[in-house]
Structure 1
Amino acid sequence: MINEQIRDKEIRLIGEEGEQLGIMPVKDAMKLAKEANLDLVKIAPTAKPPVCKIIDYGKYKYELARKEKEAKKKQKVTEVKEIRLSPNIDDNDLNTKAGQARKFLTKGDKVKVALRFRGREMAHMSSSKQILDSFFSKLEDIAIVEKPAKLEGRNMIMFLAEKR
């Protein structure tokens, strides 16, 4: 809330340099802000009495936006990349997929390994867990199993993340 939007009777006022000006009525605080050609901004509305500060509101909003943008820049977004395998995958194909997964993991992404079953492959699910195990063994030096292999419908899914 700024200037006339502040409806409290008394407020604790902080000056433009950050000095405490004490508790005073809103009208007096507004008068001081007008004299300095600045705005009266409510900073801590939950405090007793509410805390207001004399500042340039446009500059204040700009600073907040800049700080938010800086914080967003420093954030690291992790993506989940998916690699699909089939129960009758060959060793060379498995090595190629493991190479892709290695590339994703070194970039800092997580890898979702999905073993997809179609048709009669559903009957031989028990022997298929070893495919996921061998896939993980190729990446054991840089990856950890975040979620172990689990059957979800027609897919057996396992999540891998980079070792820290």
Structure 2
Amino acid sequence: MIKNEKIKASEVHLTGLHGEDLGTMPTKEALALAKQLKVDLICTSLMSSPPPCKLIGSGQAKQEALQEKQQARKKDQPLKVKELRLTPHIEDHDLDTKRQQAERILKAGDAVMLVVKISGKEGAKAKELLENLVKDLSASGRKQTGIQLSGKQAAVQLDPL
């Protein structure tokens, strides 16, 4: 972020304090206007000619840069996987509740692991239940892995779209 006298361009495209377009003007004139309003002149990009600049209050520029860093850091973090547990003999109303929970989690940007606890010969019923849930949630998320049957549980992970 280039501020005030460090801007070397002869002309800048200036944006005012409240986002209004002040047009293209000489850098010296823009600096004088910034000093008159007791704010900083900040260059937002050096890639265009004339470079776009903003008038920003001195503390606000640092705060905006800090917020941009935090947003970038947030995007770099891996997905959170939230687990929802079910049983093969789940009631229709309870299944609707779990479906809504999964949809809410997917819309929030987190992944959902649907786990069905199995005892005895309920594997086929558990797999069918998970297939129906995946089909119902296809508008909010997509399968990352296939349905995995292992020992006492069947599981599938859904990632947000």
**TM-score interval for Structure 1 and Structure 2 normalised by the shorter chain:** 0.5 to 0.7
- Superposition RMSD in Å: 2.1
Q: Which runs of 5+ in 2 are unaligned?
A: 1-64
Q: Which residue in the other structure is 1:82 paired with?
A: 83
Matched, 1:145 2:143: yes
Distance in 1 of aligned mates of 2:101 and 2:66: 35
**How many residues were matched structurally?**
94
Label 1:68 to 1:154 Cα distance change in 2 as closer, same or farther (>3 A).
farther
Distance in 2 of aligned mates of 1:141 and 1:70: 30
Aligned pair partner of 2:132 in 118, 130, 134: 134
Distance in 2 of aligned mates of 1:70 and 1:141: 30
Deviation track 1:87-111 (CA, whole Å, cap 9, x = no partner) reads 1011111110010000100010000
**TM-score where L is the length of structure 2:** 0.52
Label 1:152 to 1:68 Cα distance change in 2 as closer, same or farther (>3 A).
farther
Letter in 1 for 2:98: K
Q: Which residue in the other structure is 1:114 paired with?
A: 115
- Aligned residues of 2:84 and 2:115 also touching (Cα < 8 A): yes
Q: Which residue in the other structure is 1:98 paired with?
A: 99
Distance in 2 of aligned mates of 1:94 and 1:138: 11
Deviation track 1:25-51 (CA, whole Å, cap 9, x = no partner) reads xxxxxxxxxxxxxxxxxxxxxxxxxxx
**TM-score where L is the length of structure 1:** 0.52
